[in-house]
Amino acid sequence: MSLRVRSGAPAADGTVLDITPESAGWTYVGFRVVKLAKGDHYAHREPAREACIVILTGTVDVSAMDELFVDLGQRSTVFEAPATSVYIPADTAYAVVASADAEIAICTAPARPGGTPRLISPEDVGQELRGQGTNTRFVRNILDDKSEAQSLLVVEVITPGGHWSSYPPHKHDRDAYPEETFLEETYYHRLSPPQGFAFQRVYTDDRSIDQAIAVEDGDVVMVPRGYHPVGAPHGYDLYYLNVMAGPRKNWVFANDPDHAWIVAK
């Protein structure tokens, strides 16, 4: 089974990509991308799942319960400032109306009902510089493991052209807290300029999974387990939106022992 999923033509509701636990063959992570023209309306409810609506581009209004969040998102590309997002509790009906052409990502994970919708502004997210040299990248934690969510982790990463990310190769596929946690993960890739490509390898110690994937703009790579480094070729900046979830909401990873020396110097 290929771990790459391609975006398609919009469905009647604007969905261009939809990964469910059933389609992925796993338990926790769900990921959907919806494109909306100005004035379009998208409504949904995630049974037994919490959601984070990430406004990738454009401007939308989001309503849920008695909350109405208006004029959210100002980005023309995902490479601009951190995203505006809205957290939606499990089993909560929500609606999104586009006040300009927009693209949204809907990230989901198992949860119990409870809580209220809340806005996650770019100022709440900020941006962290991580790594050194050609391992430098820019990280924007939308929902980290200290956030008010039950199991959902969401992060944006910008990797400049010629740089590596999720590197040295690391994994989080053992439920062995505090040494390591089990987290499924999706990578939603965008490139600038969009005709570019990048590479992602997903592999396990025993090589029962070992795929080297050429990713293009709009592709998703699914990481059920194993190491998953990413490389961006010279001239093409890479964005990806990560969604992670597992039996506990802690991000504890282990580097590939063959390459751990890179950060142990």
CA 72, 75, 77, 79 dihedral sign is negative
* pTM of the model as a whole: 0.97
Distance set, CA 84 to CA 54, 78, 122, 200 (Å): 6, 11, 5, 27
Nearest to 206 by CA among 221, 226, 179: 226
Q: Return d(Cα 146, Cα 245) in angstroms, integer.
A: 13
Could you tell me the pLDDT band of residue 169, with boundaries at 50, 70 and 90?
very high
Domains and CATH numbers, the chain: 4-264 (2.60.120.10)
What Rg do the C-alpha atoms of the chain give, in angstroms? 18
Q: What is the pLDDT of residue 265?
A: 63
Place of tokens 């740089």: 163
List pLDDT tens digits, range 99-139: 999 999 999 999 999 999 999 999 999 999 999 999 999 99
Tokens of 118: 């809340």
Tokens of 264: 């142990």
Q: Return d(Cα 26, Cα 183) in angstroms, integer.
A: 11
Q: What is the mean pLDDT of the chain?
A: 97
List pLDDT tens digits, range 178-221: 999 999 999 999 999 999 999 999 999 999 999 999 999 999 99
Which residue type occupies 190? R
Q: Return d(Cα 141, Cα 149) in angstroms, integer.
A: 13
